[in-house]
Chain A
Amino acid sequence: MAEGIEDTVVDREVDRSQMQVSDQVAIQITEMNKWYGTFHVLRDINLTVNEGERIVICGPSGSGKSTLIRCINRLEEHQAGRIIVDGTELTSDLKNIDKIRSEVGMCFQHFNLFPHLTILENCTLAPIWVRQVPKKEAEETAMHYLEKVKIPEQADKFPGQLSGGQQQRVAIARSLCMKPRIMLFDEPTSALDPEMIKEVLDTMIELAEEGMTMLCVTHEMGFARQVANRVIFMDAGQIVEQNEPEEFFNNPKSERTQLFLSQILGH
């Protein structure tokens, strides 16, 4: 099976020196359940994420993988079980929710940049209003991260003037400006052309190399193999299999996983 994983997108050596998984627990999910009305979307999810982990979540569409990571910053509400992020439990207490949201960055499939604000304003908005950072300082931070994602020259343009890949990199920079401890990626490359996928993945790899805790819902298996320390396969709202990438791809245990991998890697 391993031969099937052609590494077309991630074409460089990943520097693993900073990628260390610590003993500190970043996210603890226990017995979490979620329903949409009466439809049981997430079933008995147990997941512990340590600081510095890079987790890739994959699975067929409708398996609940996006819903799972959207529960972590309360874009979706869970109805049973507990989610503890960075020592704070997610309850309906708005203070806790806002605290967790300011510690957890998120990138969306459709970028969700604010079209009426310039790139720079997109990046400084949350630091200024949520963290009360002075405008000048926020702009300096924003330029720092825009340089990091290699588009400082676009700072004064509007999102509509940028390509999809550039927009997604701005979205990553916007999240980073809040100096999050955890980053969530919800299919960040699914809406992009192949050549733009590469520039976004490169940015994500750099982030991983610096030791960021990351949870990525993605179908980029090359990225999973190179960067992740754990791959989770979900189906029908439950975690079916999880393992280290080598083992996961070379030697999938469950039949469901084997079928899924053969479908997405088979051609």
Chain B
Amino acid sequence: MTNQIGYVRSEMLGEKTPPALTVGIQGWIKDNLFSSVGNSILTIVSVYLIYVILSGMLPWIFLGIWNAETLSECREIFAQRYGDDTEYACWAVIKARWHQIIFGYYSADQYWRPILGFVLILLSIAPLLYPSLPKKMFLISFASIFIYPWLIWGGSIWGPLAIALGAILGIVVYRFVTDRFGSLIGILAACAAALVWWGLFSGSAAATMQAAIPVTIEEVSSLNLAGFVLSITIGIVAIIASLPLAIVLALGRQSDMFIVNKLCTGFIEIIRGVPLITLLFVATVLLNYFLPRGMEFDKILSVNILVTLFTAAYIAEVIRGGLAALPKGQYEAADALGLTYWQAQRQIILPQALKISIPGIVSNFISVFKDTTLVSIVALNDPLGIADNVRANSDWNGIVWELYGFIALIFWIFCFSMSRYSMYLERKLRTDHR
């Protein structure tokens, strides 16, 4: 009878509480920290290491001194308070020089310009970041293209306005001509109109207006542009301008048209095959060497163009990966529905390819923002260049951690926000396996 297969439960079981070690904080600790002997050893060693690091770092940071005139004054105070050997952070250097690290060599009464410029940047990328914002905000983005350089470099407002007018003229011509003759002729006509305006009329128009109604802010030479204002200017321009260029390059590299394909491939491979520092040298030193005497290319402008091209080449390869990851069926379905090449790219292919490429694109953005520190090699004063200048001053000679720590912290805030935004975007765009 013990082997009987049939079985009937006569009474249903009630709920019991789970063993204490599997739930709550206890359960979590057991699962995550002490699940095995090896895990327990690792936990203990890690906790000890964290303790060692923090017990050294936290007092150094929080017992640091904010009020002092020089490094030696800091050291005297430490000697008085804690005896000879103990030394904590001398934050006084940040207090004395933070404005240089952030604003470079602007005079203090002009700080509102980079601040306003930064706010403008935030406003103009906001509609890109959060599509739910009204489309009208792109007008701010358009205006910022012309206002931001004016805020940074200064001079007469009529110059940037005249250039903006050329762009508007181009757009109007494009709308007008495209309706009648198609988009290719529209683009050509728009470029021609804008170039004619910029080449022949914008200069004199700006001069006339300036004579009639002078609106000028103090000019700041490119040499005085330094610190994070410089980093952010170069970084933002590279980030914004490189993406459309990268898309064109990636599509070109995928194209069936032989010449276009080879041009794009060649461009990408040449730029990627050369270190950024070499390119920076070429842009600033050699370019001016070849230009006629007296004509000098603005150093920041040429660095800007170069960093943009450099970033575009890398991002183009990331996007090409995204394009290659799309199944062929997507192209075929778009074709079969009668969409033209550009319609298919715009509506079907790029939205998906870019979505796949977001992590790669953003890590390139992050790395280009950090790479802006390389411009110190061509004698531009990025934050690290400023740090060197501060250290060269006899008051602060010998200070290291505080300065670089502060600069690292600011870089980290920017890069970490970009990284978080990219993760938010990925989550938001995830439609395929919900």
Contacts and interface: CB of A to CB of B under 8 A. Distances in A.
A201 interface: no
Contacts of B293: none
Interface residues of A, number: 30
A174 B333 CA distance: 10
A102 interface: yes
Given A112-B332, A160-B434, A98 B340 contact: yes
B348 A102 contact: no
Interface in A164-212: 174-175, 178
A106 interface: yes
Contacts, number: 74
A105 B338 CA distance: 9
Interface stretch (A48-56, A122-130, A143-151, A246-254): A122-130
Contact of A160 (B329, B335, B352, B432): B432
B113 interface: no
B338 A98 contact: yes
Nearest to A106: B336
A110 interface: yes
Contacts of B434: 158, 160-161
A175 B332 CA distance: 13
Contact of B338 (A108, A130, A158): A130
Interface stretch (A7-15, A83-91, A113-121): A113-121
A43 interface: no
Contact of A115 (B332, B336, B337, B432): B432
A112 B434 CA distance: 18
A116 B431 contact: yes
Contacts of B332: 75, 108, 112
B204 interface: no
Contact of A112 (B333, B338, B343, B433): B333
Nearest to A160: B432
Nearest to A107: B336
B329 A130 contact: no
B352 A125 contact: no
Contacts of B347: 125, 129
Contacts of A256: none
Contact of B336 (A75, A125, A159): A75
A102 B340 CA distance: 11
B352 A101 contact: no
Nearest to B329: A112
Contacts of A160: 431-434
A102 B432 contact: no
Contact of A116 (B333, B340, B343, B429): B429
Given A110-B329, A116-B351, A158 B337 contact: no
B432 A108 contact: no
B348 A73 contact: no
B381 to A, nearest CB: 44
Contacts of B351: 116
B433 A129 contact: no
B355 interface: yes
B427 to A, nearest CB: 14
Given A158-B431, A160-B432, A114 B333 contact: yes
Contacts of B338: 98-99, 101-102, 126, 130, 178
A76 B249 CA distance: 26
A111 B333 CA distance: 9
B115 interface: no
Contacts of A105: 336
A115 B353 CA distance: 12
B337 A116 contact: no
B329 A115 contact: no
Contacts of B335: 73-75, 101
A94 B335 CA distance: 11
Shortest Cβ-Cβ A-B pairs, 4 listed: A102-B338, A112-B333, A112-B329, A126-B337
12 contacts: A73-B335, A75-B332, A75-B335, A104-B336, A110-B327, A112-B332, A114-B333, A125-B347, A130-B343, A161-B434, A178-B337, A178-B338
Given A112-B327, A116-B432, 11 more contacts: A98-B340, A101-B335, A101-B337, A105-B336, A112-B332, A115-B431, A116-B355, A116-B429, A126-B338, A161-B434, A174-B337
Interface of B: 327, 329-330, 332-333, 335-340, 343, 347-348, 351-352, 355, 429, 431-434
